[in-house]
Chain A
Amino acid sequence: MDFDLMISSFPKLLNATLITLKLLSLSLIIGLMLGLLFSIMRISKNPIINKFAYGYSYFFRGTPLLVQIFIIYFGLGQLEFIRSSFLWAVLKEPYWCAIIAFALNTGAYTSEILRSAFQTIKPGLIEAGKSLGIQTRIIFFKIQVPIAIRQSLPAYGNEVILMLKGTSLASTVTIMDITGVAKYIISTTFKPVEVFIVAGGIYLFMTFIVHNVIKLLEKKYSFK
């Protein structure tokens, strides 16, 4: 055990944690919005909208995240009309490519989680709201959404943790997140175990915090 290396690599990895957290929070925010949008499309009765949302979630859940990142980062740059459009300013940055891939990926999982949450709401609750003469929009935001949030919290907590682990793939497109820095230190010092303990410890600590925040939220939203 090389404790000096562990101590000296800790601040470097902690610096990289900032990038991991940025990747995670941005992709979760965008992914949540995408997920909400696509879950509403999934419960729509229009077959085209429905099929489109299903295809989206099937593709992103059926292929590895690594393939999705590579398609966006290496693949899209090949198209001439993308290179000449304003999109290129975003798509030439590995950072934004990673965020787009993560957001689309977590959006697909989130849409499935939210869809099942919406579908488990008892129709009686919506009918009760309707018979009280409440507007459909208000029924959606004041009845369906709060119940769906409560229903989907445990599953969404898992998704956040999966996404936290998923951000490590950003290191494959040259972003120096925790895993990227860890790989760099390993390949220069050839001491994988020490670096693994420090980097893994940071990840575990973050998973621990996410786990507990979700638990608190579950308590807050539970029926008393």
Chain B
Amino acid sequence: MELLAFGKTGWGDELFIATLMTLAVSITAMLIGFLFALIFTPLKLSKNKFLNLLANCYTTVIRGVPELLVIYLFFFGGSAAIMFVASIFGYNDYIEINAFITGSCAIGIISGAYSTEVFRGAIQSIDKGQFEASKVLGLKKPIHFFKVIMPQMLRLALPNLSNVWQITLKDTSLISVTGLVEIMRQSYIAAGSTRDPLFFYSFAAVLYLLLTFLSMKIINRLEIKYSKGY
């Protein structure tokens, strides 16, 4: 227990901050993922073959390639890509991008591919009559989407989105390879300096379990809220 004390003697405060970091990365990644899903879900459902192919490529490649490989691509390729863009504008110094940004972007793109599939499935399982009815009523497109389709889609998508959230939360442990100090990295540091890896990695496992447990509780509440009236 001494090892977990807060302050200079223990690792409690470091691990607490690391847990917050894991949460921050997961939430940022999830939001970036939604952004990608917002772009790619309409493409997946579109009748244009080229746009369709583009969206299918995105989801197939990202879901078929290991997360770690994607993270390495971003970690090693990220600053090179930015420096290339900057050099076009005449800026030639070395640019290093923040590990937090690289990490959340990499995980975000991965979680976006899963979210896209979830939203596509949810929209496709909405009854066709709903689309036709709102067309017949002459609803404008934004109202049709936000007031008719979206609430129904969210209800159908929520159980699967909670899976995506769990995957995203667990994937953030992989960002530790880039040196971002989240739970896994902090445990690695603590284990290295105290020579007690069993304790710290087990504690990391407990922290992850706690995070998944708490988020499941919150998501269950949301599910009840969105399934009102059914």
Contact = CB atoms under 8 A, between A and B. Distances in A.
Do these two chains really belong together in a complex?
yes
Interface stretch (A27-35, A43-51, A130-138, A179-187): A179-187
A144 interface: no
A68 to B, nearest CB: 7
A103 to B, nearest CB: 17
A193 B69 CA distance: 11
A66 B176 contact: yes
Contacts of A171: 68
Interface stretch (A2-10, A74-82, A116-124, A145-153): A74-82
B80 A192 contact: yes
Helix, strand, loop or mixed for chain B's interface? Answer: helix
B66 A78 contact: no
Nearest to B200: A75
B61 interface: yes
Contacts of A74: 191, 197-198, 201
Q: How large is the interface on A (under 10, 10 to 19, 20 to 34, 35 or more residues)?
A: 35 or more
B110 to A, nearest CB: 10
B173 A200 contact: no
Contact of B170 (A63, A76, A200): A63
Helix, strand, loop or mixed for chain A's interface? Answer: helix
Contact of A203 (B69, B171, B201): B69
Interface in A167-218: 167-169, 171-172, 179, 182-183, 186-187, 190, 192-193, 196, 199-200, 203-204, 207-208
Contact of B205 (A71, A78, A79, A207): A71
A79 B69 contact: no
A82 to B, nearest CB: 10
A67 interface: yes
Contacts of B80: 190, 192
B197 to A, nearest CB: 4
A192 B77 contact: yes
B174 A66 contact: yes
B60 A204 contact: yes
A221 to B, nearest CB: 24
Contact of B65 (A59, A76, A165): A165
Given A67-B205, A165-B65, A200-B65, A78 B196 contact: yes
B198 A199 contact: no
A220 B219 CA distance: 38
A167 B66 CA distance: 8
B69 A200 contact: yes
Question: Which of B68, B75, B202, B213 has the largest count of A CB atoms less than 10 A from its CB?
Answer: B68
A200 B61 contact: yes
A54 interface: no
Contacts of B202: 71, 75
Nearest to B184: A66
Nearest to A79: B198
B208 A64 contact: yes
Given A75-B197, A165-B65, A200-B61, A66 B77 contact: no
B52 interface: no
B55 interface: no
- Interchain residue pairs A-B with the least CB separation, the first 10: A168-B66, A75-B198, A64-B173, A192-B77, A74-B197, A192-B76, A207-B64, A64-B170, A165-B66, A200-B65
Interface of A: 58-59, 62-68, 70-71, 74-76, 78-79, 161, 164-169, 171-172, 179, 182-183, 186-187, 190, 192-193, 196, 199-200, 203-204, 207-208
11 contacts: A59-B205, A66-B174, A165-B64, A167-B66, A168-B67, A179-B69, A179-B72, A192-B80, A196-B72, A196-B77, A203-B66
Given A168-B66, A179-B68, A187-B76, 18 more contacts: A62-B208, A74-B201, A75-B198, A75-B199, A75-B201, A75-B202, A78-B195, A78-B197, A78-B198, A169-B68, A172-B68, A179-B72, A192-B76, A196-B72, A196-B77, A200-B61, A200-B64, A200-B65
